[in-house]
Structure formats: C-alpha cells, structure tokens
Amino acid sequence: MSNLKLDKHTYASLCALLDGRDEVKMCYMTWAIRLDATTVAIRYHHTNIITYTDDGHVYLNNGGWYTRTTLFRMARATGLPVRQKDWTWYVGDEEYYNGMCVALPESDDTPKPTLIPALDCYGIG
C-alpha cells in the first residue's frame, strides 16, 4: 500500500481502527499499535513515528531516519504540514526535532499545529 492510502488519524480514530486488538497493519511496513491503555502509535518499520495520547498530545519521532517515506507518513497520518527544506525538516514553521510534541488542529479550518513545549508534554511545565 502506498502513502496515498494512509488516512489522517487521531487518538480516537486509531483506537477505533484497532478495535481491541494490539496492532493492525495500515500500509507497507506501517502498523497502528496499542502501547498501553492511554497511548497508541503508528509504527513504521521498528520506529514509533507518531504517538498519540488520550489527552490530545501527539509526539513525532523519526528515529534518526530522515527519509521521504517517514516524512510523508508523518504528514499524511497527522494532517500536519511536515516538510523538508534544504535538508532540514519542519512542522509548520517550527524546526522538527525528535520527541516534538504538538496539538493537532481541532478542525481542518485551523491551518497551524500548536507546538507544545516539551516540559508541558511531560506534565512538568
């Protein structure tokens, strides 16, 4: 299956897709997986590239693999503007980094993701 068959997802839509199972194949080398009772992820090869929590946080991680396919999977599955310019990845206007935490736009009318400071994502800030 190509990237074109990968739909945009949220925590709720991945839970519905999993339907009580621990993992479901989504497309080539890409699975929806349940990590625990409150966390689901999209795994590409052996890397959880997108992790969704039930409180609305979304974590991005390419595992050091700066490939087009990883970037496209992140963009398609989240609906976020994940892009590359001059060998640097961006999410919206923010430079990408592993472990980046974002809040997905509440509707398709909201053009920008909200970058959440790392400390806030871990309940520290």
Q: Where are the domains of the chain?
A: 3-121
Say if residue 124's pLDDT is above 50. Answer: no
Average pLDDT, the chain: 87
Average pLDDT of 37-44? 97
Which of the pair, 11 or 3, is modelled with greater confidence?
Answer: 11
Query: Which residues are registered as beta bridge partners of 52?
Result: 40, 58
Contact 50, 40 (CB under 8 A): no
Say if residue 34's pLDDT is above 80. Answer: yes
Residue 13's nearest CA partner among 47, 58, 48 is 58
pLDDT category, 63, cuts 50, 70, 90? very high
Contact 50, 44 (CB under 8 A): no
Contact 34, 22 (CB under 8 A): yes
The token pair at 103 is 């809040």
Q: Please, is 26 exposed, middle or buried when counting C-beta atoms within 10 Å of its C-beta (0-12, 13-18, 19+)?
A: buried
pLDDT category, 67, cuts 50, 70, 90? very high
Residue-wise pLDDT for 77-110, tens only, equals 998 899 999 999 999 888 999 999 998 766 665 5
> Nearest 5°: phi and psi at 70?
-60, -45
Whole-angstrom distance, CA of residue 52 vs CA of residue 60:
9
